[in-house]
Amino acid sequence: MSFMTTVRPASSGHTEKRINVIQGTTQVTSDPAVVLTTVLGSCVAACLFDGLAGVGGMNHFLLSEPRGGDLAFGEQSERYGAYAMELLINEMLKAGASRSRIKAHLYGGANMRAGMQEIGSANSKFAINFLARDGIPLTFSNLGGNAARRVDFRAVKGQARCRVLAEEVPVETRPIITQAASVGDVELF
């Protein structure tokens, strides 16, 4: 599911349409007024485009692959990289793109919490390897680090803007447990 809002006139004088690509979704367009947008942490967004055909799209996946106990297929499939990448490519081909002309940008893959599993790194590595295996040139990437990003992608032209939203890794701290005082007949600990 995506959300679309009309914002302001684009430089060409036409109304710019912004489509928010949320987690676990894919959007493809051939409309030059459309800007695909998303916010990423450890998730990765692949922005693919065929400039000659004027077709582009974006996906937003949460995990590189299913883990033990997760569903491999079904309604949750788009949250996994392999499914999201194949879906994006297939939708672009249906819209008129040529596989031999598709180029890619990758964004996201941050490791948002210190001391936690490096999901962002795994997502980034998966996306880079997927593109290499499929022979899709990676023309730009902004991956890794520890900051969230906002990506705006004018898909038809393959133009993107990526802005960092936060620079510090939130560190979860646990309260220090001190020796509890005795109260009456009940000892607190």
pLDDT tens, residue by residue, 4-63: 444 444 455 668 899 999 999 999 999 999 999 999 999 999 999 999 999 999 999 999
Spans of all domains in the chain: 2-187
Q: How confident is the model at residue 3 (pLDDT cuts 50, 70, 90)?
A: very low
Cα(81)–Cα(66) distance, rounded to whole angstroms? 9
User: 173 pLDDT exceeds 70?
Assistant: no
Cα(79)–Cα(109) distance, rounded to whole angstroms? 14
Give the pLDDT mean for 143-150: 94
Over the chain, what is the mean pLDDT?
Answer: 84
Specify the higher pLDDT residue, 145 or 169.
145
Specify the higher pLDDT residue, 167 or 50.
50
Cα(145)–Cα(93) distance, rounded to whole angstroms? 33
Enumerate residues 6+ apart whose C-beta is below 8 A from 86: none
User: 74 pLDDT exceeds 70?
Assistant: no
Give the model's pLDDT for residue 180.
57
CATH of 2-187, one of 3.40.1190.20, 3.20.10.10, 3.40.50.720, 3.30.1330.200: 3.30.1330.200
Give the model's pLDDT for residue 114.
74
Q: Could you tell me the sign of the dihedral formed by the alpha carbons of 58, 124, 132, 129, in that order?
A: negative
